[in-house]
Amino acid sequence: MNTSPPAAHYRSVFSPGLLRGQVILVTGGGSGIGRCTAHELASLGAHVVLVGRNPEKLTATAQEITGDGGQASWHSCDIRREDDVKAMVGQVVQQHGRIHGLVNNAGGQYISPLAKTSAKGWQAVIDTNLTGGFLVARECFNQSMQAHGGAVVNIVADMWGSMPGMGHSGAARAGMVSFTETAALEWAAQGVRVNAVAPGYIASSGMDHYPPEAGPMLREMRNTVPQGRFGTEAETSAAIVFLLSPAASFVSGTVLRVDGARPQMRMGWQQAVAKPDVQERDAVKPFDGFHRAVTPKVFQ
């Protein structure tokens, strides 16, 4: 992790102070998209509560945020354990009074064809990407949002057409989309909005968890994206912040894709992939607002 002093503060496209006074919980906040989102939320005035299993990562991210002048705290929690989630959310509510927003970002998977996926491996991915997110959202609702309202953003994935090679994750992410739609209906009467963000191929530290032999495949994935590139963590974070913001007050039960139109790619259309010079045009130029972004090792 890059721990050098930042060259500048987070360059958010949103108004300074937009989320001032809000308490927003970010699971998986110690790395990748979660870390970037936590930085942006804090730069906009929110107190960010980082949740994850690795205290070292959480501490490092919290120190980055406070070093940049933001507010952050952290709780170590295995979101797959119901009692631990109940206790963690209870502690956050006790310390801060309420939870205004939740970014259900924690997740993970591994490459495996269905025929070679064990029941244990399947269950581990389902528990992390679906059950854990449900538990955290349910407790945020029961212990805070039911009484005060709030906004939930579930992070899913580009699983349109499913996820060959990672069928366990595709099933879990599709389940989270259904959960998002159901919760948006059931919790609307309490003033709670529930949406999802589906990142496509994003250059984040999550790619470093795959084995070295996956490197060539990962580097080639940009060629299946019409925009011809990977997305940035900041582009994903901006979508999350929008759904948490007042500008999305009439948006609920939807999925916002951040994928450069990758699911629309068809055989025979590789010529439609944008070339490097086109990728720099204003409408599609990469947005690199995260001042502490770290290039994944697989691209270095």
SS3 111: coil
Given strand 47-52, what is the order of strands in its sheet?
71-76, 47-52, 23-27, 101-104, 150-155, 192-199, 255-258
CATH number, position 162: 3.40.50.720
The reply to whether 289 falls in a domain is no
Q: Of the candidates 103, 98, 109, which has an alpha carbon nearest to the alpha carbon of residue 209? A: 109
SS3 118: coil
166: which DSSP letter?
A: B
The reply to whether 48 falls in a domain is yes
Domain that holds residue 200: 23-284
Buried residues in 63-76 as b, exposed as e (16+ CB within 10 A):
ebbeebebebbbbb
Structure tokens at 54: 């690795």
The domain total for the chain is 1
SS3 52: strand
Give the helix ranges, DSSP H, for the chain. Answer: 32-43, 55-67, 82-96, 119-126, 132-140, 146-148, 167-186, 215-220, 233-244
For residue 6, what pLDDT is reported? Answer: 47
Residue reference for tokens 């501490």: 59
For residue 115, what pLDDT is reported? Answer: 94
Q: Answer whether 0.85 is exceeded by the pTM.
A: yes
The reply to whether 101 falls in a domain is yes
Helix, strand and coil in the chain, % to nearest 5: 45, 15, 40
Q: Of the candidates 24, 27, 25, 86, which has an alpha carbon nearest to the alpha carbon of residue 53? A: 27
* Residues 219 and 299: beta-carbon distance below 8 Å: yes
Structure tokens at 159: 């699983």
- What residues does 27 pair with on adjacent strands? 51
The reply to whether 12 falls in a domain is no
Q: Mean pLDDT of successive 10-residue segments in the chain (300 residues)?
A: 58 97 97 97 98 96 97 97 98 98 91 91 93 98 98 93 84 95 98 97 81 78 90 97 98 97 82 88 93 87
Give CA–CA dist 207/71, Å, rounded: 28
The reply to whether 131 falls in a domain is yes
Structure tokens at 246: 């007042």
The reply to whether 79 falls in a domain is yes
* Residues 180 and 155: beta-carbon distance below 8 Å: no
For residue 50, what pLDDT is reported? Answer: 98
The reply to whether 17 falls in a domain is no
Give CA–CA dist 232/293, Å, rounded: 9
For residue 1, what pLDDT is reported? Answer: 40
In sequence order, the 6+-apart residues with CB closer than 8 A to the CB of 83 are: none
The reply to whether 291 falls in a domain is no
Structure tokens at 265: 């790619």
